[in-house]
Amino acid sequence: MSSMIQRFWLNFLNNTRVFKFTNIYKTADIGNNCVIGSYTEIGDKVKIGDNCKIQAKVFIPKGVTIGNNVFIGPCVKFTNDKYPKATGDWKVWETVVEDGASIGAGATIICGVTIRKNSMIGAGAVVTKDVPEGCMVVGVPAVQVDNNWGSL
Amino acid sequence: MSSMIQRFWLNFLNNTRVFKFTNIYKTADIGNNCVIGSYTEIGDKVKIGDNCKIQAKVFIPKGVTIGNNVFIGPCVKFTNDKYPKATGDWKVWETVVEDGASIGAGATIICGVTIRKNSMIGAGAVVTKDVPEGCMVVGVPAVQVDNNWGSL
Amino acid sequence: MSSMIQRFWLNFLNNTRVFKFTNIYKTADIGNNCVIGSYTEIGDKVKIGDNCKIQAKVFIPKGVTIGNNVFIGPCVKFTNDKYPKATGDWKVWETVVEDGASIGAGATIICGVTIRKNSMIGAGAVVTKDVPEGCMVVGVPAVQVDNNWGSL
């Protein structure tokens, strides 16, 4: 299926708007009423819920599951291999982003973590462990600065 | 207007060289003698002055204004929403980069700041507040390390 | 040579798999059995060895030399100008990545450094100086946290 036909069907069937130069695997499962920015890659078997806003240049590989109402800023990258090497076997680590979370521009999410409901990841943060519900984390590595973000 | 025709006209009229896979909104206002690297997205109503060198994979959304003689390194991303969420209303925050500033590779610029003349943003920095004229800032969040960059 | 023909020849002659939306300069020298992810740009005269896995959205400009069995994560960017400005002359700084090194997602490599054999750069790190053989570095700027990575 060509990229253009895929964009048409996602729009027609799911009311999901897909911008230019995206690379969405046919095996990715994308919900309704989403926006997928330009240059964004969504890999094999990635699952994305409804009403998500995924900005430009985002990288989401196999192993990532995203809930509903999630915001993912431009240039955010997920990973799926904790100890990457060019050669040899490897396994996919799972990462979960729960409903209502927001991930700021350029953040890096190390695989194996769960980002809980209504949390906020600051722009440029490197997330190395689970993020509790409703909390904000910032920095490299990301540390908690606010436990009341979800109620803003 | 197709991307290829737009590239031709920017080159012909403005002597601005645009590389492959760019996504430049027709409503963006780009000056003369600029270079725009591949995969770079320049959004709605973005204003860019003359003699700017904008490298590959840069993301510049609506709300950003860039002066003359500005260098923007590869993979730099600007933002325009301070408290992003997937749903609900939001407003565009303005960001300004003044003449002669240089922004290093992979830096993230949080919206609402002014980067003043002849300043330097270190590679990978996350800029969260205004950068004074002629200063260098580095780190996450970016802090000032040099107040004499502009005279180098 | 169009991008599609180039991808075919790399695959046919070198057994190197090149994904979509790549921008590989004809003057780049790429080895055998490599993988080059989507949206990756490999610039003029870049040299890459055999069995390298280069993920999506990587930026490798002129001046970078990469050995064999190197892993480069998604959204990693290299640079080649230490004091970038929009105008005036500049020189290319050289950067070397030796055999067996791994560079985590989103890392930024400041030009002029050597990343030695079997070292590991953490995701999101900003590398500002040489990385010793077999060591792991993380953070902004990157500091050493482990001198035994290579034997994992």
Chain A: nearest CA to C148, how far in angstroms?
A: 13
* Residue C2: predicted pLDDT: 65
Residue A82 lies in a domain: yes
Residue A147 lies in a domain: no
CB atoms within 10 A of CB C78: 27
CATH number of the domain encompassing residue C25: 2.160.10.10
Give the pLDDT of chain B (152 residues) as one tens digit per residue: 567 777 777 777 789 999 999 999 999 999 999 999 999 999 999 999 999 999 999 999 999 999 999 999 999 999 999 999 999 999 999 999 999 999 999 999 999 999 999 999 999 999 999 999 999 999 999 999 977 765 54
Cβ(B95)–Cβ(B112) under 8 Å? yes
Direct distance between the N- and C-terminal alpha carbons of chain B, in angstroms, rounded to an integer:
42
Residue B72: how many CA atoms within 13 Å on its side-chain side?
A: 36
pLDDT at A86 over 80: yes
* Residue B10: predicted pLDDT: 79
* Residue B150: predicted pLDDT: 58
For the stretch B101-144, pLDDT in tens is 999 999 999 999 999 999 999 999 999 999 999 999 999 999 99
Alpha carbons B86 and B94: distance in angstroms, whole number = 20
For the stretch A113-147, pLDDT in tens is 999 999 999 999 999 999 999 999 999 999 999 77
Domain with A58 in it:
3-111
* Residue C39: predicted pLDDT: 97
Residues of C in Cβ contact (< 8 Å) with A59: 56-57, 74-75, 105
Alpha carbons B46 and C86: distance in angstroms, whole number = 19
Residue A128 lies in a domain: no
C62 at interface of B, judged by CB pairs closer than 8 A: no
- pTM, to two decimals: 0.94
In this prediction, residues A53-82 reach a mean pLDDT of: 98
CA nearest to C79, candidates B71, B134, A105, B129: B71
C39 at interface of A, judged by CB pairs closer than 8 A: yes
Alpha carbons A61 and C98: distance in angstroms, whole number = 26
- SS3 for chain A, per residue? CCHHHHHHHHHHHHCCEECCCCEECCCCEECCCCEECCCCEECCCCEECCCCEECCCCEECCCEEECCCCEECCCCEECCCCCCCCCCCCCCCCEEECCCCEECCCCEECCCCEECCCCEECCCCEECCCECCCCEEECCCCEEEECCHHHC
Contact A84 C73 (CB under 8 A): yes
| Phi and psi torsions of B45, nearest 5° | 65, 10
For the stretch A25-56, pLDDT in tens is 999 999 999 999 999 999 999 999 999 999 99
Domain total in chain B: 1
Mean pLDDT value across chain A: 93
Residue B73: how many CA atoms within 13 Å on its side-chain side?
A: 31
Tokens for B21, please give them: 């896979």
Predicted confidence band of residue C10 (pLDDT cuts 50, 70, 90):
confident
Cβ(A94)–Cβ(A43) under 8 Å? no
CA nearest to B81, candidates B64, B106, B67: B64
Residue A41 lies in a domain: yes
